[in-house]
Amino acid sequence: MKKNLIILAFLLGGFHLSSQAQKQEKTITVEVHNNWNQAKTDAPIVINLHELHADFKIKSAVVMEGTNEVPSQLDDLDRDRKMDELAFVADLPAHGRKTFQVTLSSEKSTKTYPERVYADMFIADHRKGKHQRVQAITVPGSSNIYSMVRPHGPILESELVGYRLYFNEKQTPDIYGKFNKGLEIKESQFYPTDAQLAKGFGDDVLRVFDSCGPGALKGWNGQKATHITPVETRTERIISYGPVRAIAEIEVTGWKYQGTELDMTTRYTLYAGHRDLHIEAFFDEPLDKEVFCTGVQDIVGASKSFSDHKGLVGSWGTDWPVNDTVKYAKETVGLGTCIPQRYVQSEEKDKANFLYTITAPGNNYFQYHTTFTSMKETFGYKTPEAWFAYLRKWKEELAHPVTVKIKGIR
């Protein structure tokens, strides 16, 4: 009996050691350098996990700056259940450096961080007056579910701003302006009640019509921007809910465009502490001579515009944000879009927009940024001159992203 107990204890101990041995970790030293002559606040820091060649499936991460833990997140961008990127944000002084210790683990973590971004999408059941959360919806290109999705597509929110992505051929970002910094769209769902408005909630601040609004990627027919249609299927999905960045995508297949068929995924990323949206376009095959366009809406009512003729364009104007001109007052907003000059083919103006045309022959990817301010903001910009000055500085900051170096792996 005693011998059997010894054997059992040995087996149980071996099992315990075996389960403990299954946990795998890798610690890396990351050096981040701000190459710009201005301080950066909430600078995005992204680490490509594939470049680390971890020999285990990464399920959690801890980022430390000295003895302080930095909130971070792991993202599976291609939905293959393997993490692709680690992301966090940090403040850096001008020409400053910071060092972070990152521990990657094969074990999941139940740790949570304060939410600094929000993302969501709902499908409506109008018979019951309820809404169900959904992460992704795919429909035939001929389907019109715009009114069934609340609030007409995925929502992305940071402390400064909110965006929604229209679930139709427009694929236009619409904007939510705030009085004060903080997250509120989880409660208002982009449609604040009278009680919420009385509490100081923000609201929809722009009626985009058929324009590109702030930075919608559009087709170009040689004279004006065109919508993303006809397509075989259209998918809108949320990739990441935060807490550091929110990511959504719009995917179309079989887009009949300029004599070819394109499969295109447009990804939208909003970081904590940011008002600008990073927009990336991915194609299943390298592009040929296709021409696209983006820019900013020519806002109805005393609109002013700015361009550096090198990929940066902005507008400022005042209009009713919705069709109800009795309950709602006019809103004043500033828009801005910044496109890397290497993609710019020409500068254009159509009835609804100030535009640049975009080409990327031989590439299956291009990217750019868009942003906005609202007169509602207690923390924003109150004149077109101040807004356009901000856009110039914003472009310079985009041109100087932080550099990330892996200094040691163990």
Q: Each residue of 130-153: pLDDT tens digit?
A: 889 999 999 999 999 999 999 999
Q: CA 319 to CA 300: how far, in whole Å?
A: 6
Q: CA 95 to CA 105: how far, in whole Å?
A: 32
Q: Is the pLDDT of residue 157 over 60?
A: yes
Short-list 96, 103, 37, CA closest to 69: 103
Q: Is the pLDDT of residue 321 over 50?
A: yes
Q: Is the pLDDT of residue 17 over 60?
A: no
Q: How far is CA 89 from CA 55, 95, 402, in A?
A: 26, 17, 11
Q: Is the pLDDT of residue 155 over 60?
A: yes
Tell if the pTM clears 0.75, that is, is over it: yes
CA dihedral 333, 347, 339, 141 (to 10 degrees): 80
Residue 130's pLDDT is what?
Answer: 81
CA angle, 326 then 354 then 255, to 5°: 95
Short-list 186, 365, 160, CA closest to 270: 160
Q: Is the pLDDT of residue 16 over 50?
A: no
Residue 303's pLDDT is what?
Answer: 78
Residue 6's pLDDT is what?
Answer: 45
